[in-house]
Amino acid sequence: MTLKSERMNLGNGVNLNLIKTDKFKSNLLSYYFMRPLSKDEVTKNALLPLVLKRGTDEYTTNLEIQRKLEENYGANLSIAINKRGEKHVLRFTIETVNGGYVGDRDYIYDVIDLLNSIIYNPVLEKGFFKKDYVEQEKENLKRRIEGRINDKRSYALDRCIEEMCKNEKFSIYPLGNINDLEYINEDVLYSHYQDVIRSSPIEIFYVGEYDEKLVEYIKDTKNIKRDNVLNIPREQIISSVSTKNMISEELDVNQGKLVLGYRTGIPYEDRLYNGLVLASDILGGGPNSKLFRNVREKESLAYYISTSVLKYKSIMLIDGGIEFDNFEKTIDIVKEQIEDIKKGNFTDEDIQISKKSIKSSTESIKDSIFLISEFFFSQSLSGDNRSLNQILADLDGVTKEEIKEAMSKVALDTIYFMKNSEKGDK
């Protein structure tokens, strides 16, 4: 199957992307709203989808919405609040069983109406959002922000990014800031909502079976007011390390969490970017990587240790769970392995293995209706017009020299270590 997206501009910063496939037993419709990642609006953006999914003008409570979804063969509604580089992205998705399987081809219109209402026709009270809903969701958002600490691994990664990028927008936590909640009420949030609806660049994705009638139905945006559509700038890439940070946090934990943050200075548009992706994979991508072999298999220091590249911000992160006492030993091994790649101490086979692994996971996108939509969204975000096949071919063309060169640009910026106050001192 070749994946093809038919992209049409609906005017005023709204694009519709259609991906035709009969491979799945379902259809998927997604709306992505893009905002700048900024301290001013991050908390309002994060709160907004939580309030919107509470009720529409027709289905005024969560209970009614949920029952409507269930009646439609368990149509699956999901929302997400993420940062992609320095863009804040709000996603609203609905996935439904293909009508042919349940003998009801037209119910999809009903489901599209529901998703549209959740986004565009929220339940209102005195012209604003319902006060109760806003207050309840503020409380929920507060708890979710506080709940960051529950997952120690992702908390450690977030903390490393926060410290490393403390003077950049990228450090902003996508669910916002508890202190902001105080100033947000139904009035403030509603006026922000109108701003979001009017001025956000919007990407709509439909993946599945469709005909002209359905496309026209999705395109119909007659009631939406649009003006001053934002032009969100590309994130800044910092390549030099100005101050090295060493952050150590003491928590009541049994295992130390080590995160190393590196600047690469290689933007995703750069010819070396694919080299960086491969270098990172050879270093710590999978069970065949240098870190897995040396830190886990040879020294038994960790159960997991892995490397990842944050595409939009050109940062490389290494994270592992280790004994508190093995902090220095682990860092030494990591540094040694990076030096090794810089010097070219890896084989053609290592390169082939990494290429295979990355290509395989890239190709697997085709098997998930959701990942197909995410893939094309990510292509639109980065202004990348290459087909999936072209992307695979480009990866294949990366040379050993490029991998070395990419790794030679990598510079350690921040070390974050989570340890236990008592055990760490012994």
Partner 1 sequence: MDIKIYENEKIREKLYYKEMESGLKVYFVPKQGYTKQYAIFATDYGSIDNVFIPIGEKDSIEVPEGIAHFLEHKLFEEPEQNIFDKFSKFGGNVNAYTNFNQTAYLFSSTENFYENLQLLVEFVQHPFFTDENVEKEKGIITQEINMYRDNPNWKVFFNCLKAMYNEHPVRIDIAGTVDSIQKINKDLLYKCYNTFYNPSNMVLFVVGDLLFDEIIKVVDKSERKDYKEAEEITRIFPAEPTEVKEKLIEENMMVSIPLFYMGFKDSDCNLIGEEQVKKDFVSNLILDMLFGSSSVFYNDLYEEGLIDSSFGSYFTGKKSYGHSLVVGESKDPKEVYNRIISLIDKPTESILLEKDFNRIKSKGIGEVLMGFNSIEFIANNFIDLYFDDFLLIDYLDLLESIEYKDIIERFKSHFTKDNVVLSIINPLS
> Would residue 75 be called left, alpha or beta, if left means φ above 0 and alpha means ψ between -120 and 50 degrees?
beta
Q: Is 26 within 8 Å of 208 (Cβ atoms)?
A: yes
The reply to whether 387 sits near partner 1 by the rule CB under 8 A is no
Considering only 38, 364, 389, 399, the residue that binds partner 1 (CB under 8 A) is 364
Longest dimension (CA), the chain: 70
- Residues in 299-328 at the binding interface with partner 1, rule: CB under 8 A: 299-304, 321-323
Considering only 6, 57, 74, 336, the residue that binds partner 1 (CB under 8 A) is 74
User: To which residue do tokens 């071919």 refer?
Assistant: 393
Helices 273-284 + 327-343 axis angle, to 10: 130
Considering only 24, 32, 262, 346, the residue that binds partner 1 (CB under 8 A) is 24
- Residues in 111-140 at the binding interface with partner 1, rule: CB under 8 A: 132, 136, 139-140
Considering only 198, 296, 400, 404, the residue that binds partner 1 (CB under 8 A) is 296
Q: How far apart are CA 75 and CA 54, in angstroms?
A: 16
Of the candidate spans 7-15, 119-127, 260-268, 359-367, the one that interacts with partner 1 by CB under 8 A turns out to be 359-367
Distance in Å, CB of 317 to partner 1, minimum: 18
Instruction: Please give the full DSSP string across 390-403, using - where no structure is assigned.
Output: HHHHHHHT--HHHH
Distance in Å, CB of 227 to partner 1, minimum: 34
Considering only 38, 62, 78, 248, the residue that binds partner 1 (CB under 8 A) is 62
E strands of 165-229, at which residues? 202-208
Q: Which x/- pattern, by CB under 8 A, does the window 75-114 give for partner 1?
A: xx------------------xxx---xx------------
Using CA atoms, how far residue 252 sits from 153, 260, 372, 418, 423, in Å, is 14, 21, 41, 9, 10
Amino acid identity for residue 207 in this structure: V
Q: How far apart are CA 205 and CA 185, in angstroms?
A: 32
The reply to whether 353 sits near partner 1 by the rule CB under 8 A is yes
Q: How far apart are CA 425 and CA 291, in angstroms?
A: 26
Using CA atoms, how far residue 364 sits from 169, 245, 375, in Å, is 32, 38, 11
Q: How far apart are CA 19 and CA 13, in angstroms?
A: 20
- Residues in 2-21 at the binding interface with partner 1, rule: CB under 8 A: none
Cβ neighbour number for residue 284 with a 10 Å cutoff: 24
Q: Is 294 within 8 Å of 339 (Cβ atoms)?
A: no
Q: How far apart are CA 280 and CA 79, in angstroms?
A: 31
Tokens of 69: 């979804």
Cβ nearer to partner 1, comparing 73 with 128? 73
Cβ neighbours for 135, distance < 8 A, ≥ 6 positions apart: none
Cβ nearer to partner 1, comparing 11 with 287? 287
Query: Exposed e or buried b for every residue in 346-368, given b needs 16+ CB within 10 A?
Result: beeebbebbbebbeeeeeebbee
Of the candidate spans 198-206, 241-249, 266-274, 363-371, the one that interacts with partner 1 by CB under 8 A turns out to be 363-371
The reply to whether 148 sits near partner 1 by the rule CB under 8 A is yes
- What single DSSP character describes residue 83? E
Considering only 287, 325, 345, 384, the residue that binds partner 1 (CB under 8 A) is 287
- Residues in 162-221 at the binding interface with partner 1, rule: CB under 8 A: none
Cβ nearer to partner 1, comparing 25 with 166? 25
Distance in Å, CB of 137 to partner 1, minimum: 10
The reply to whether 345 sits near partner 1 by the rule CB under 8 A is no
The reply to whether 349 sits near partner 1 by the rule CB under 8 A is yes
Of the candidate spans 195-203, 227-235, 327-335, 356-364, the one that interacts with partner 1 by CB under 8 A turns out to be 356-364
Q: Which x/- pattern, by CB under 8 A, does the window 216-255 give for partner 1?
A: -----------------------------------xxxxx
Cβ nearer to partner 1, comparing 56 with 200? 56
Of the candidate spans 159-167, 258-266, 290-298, 375-383, the one that interacts with partner 1 by CB under 8 A turns out to be 290-298
Distance in Å, CB of 91 to partner 1, minimum: 16
Cβ nearer to partner 1, comparing 23 with 105? 23
Q: How far apart are CA 246 and CA 50, in angstroms?
A: 36
Cβ nearer to partner 1, comparing 147 with 344? 147
Cβ nearer to partner 1, comparing 67 with 244? 67
Considering only 8, 80, 149, 393, the residue that binds partner 1 (CB under 8 A) is 149
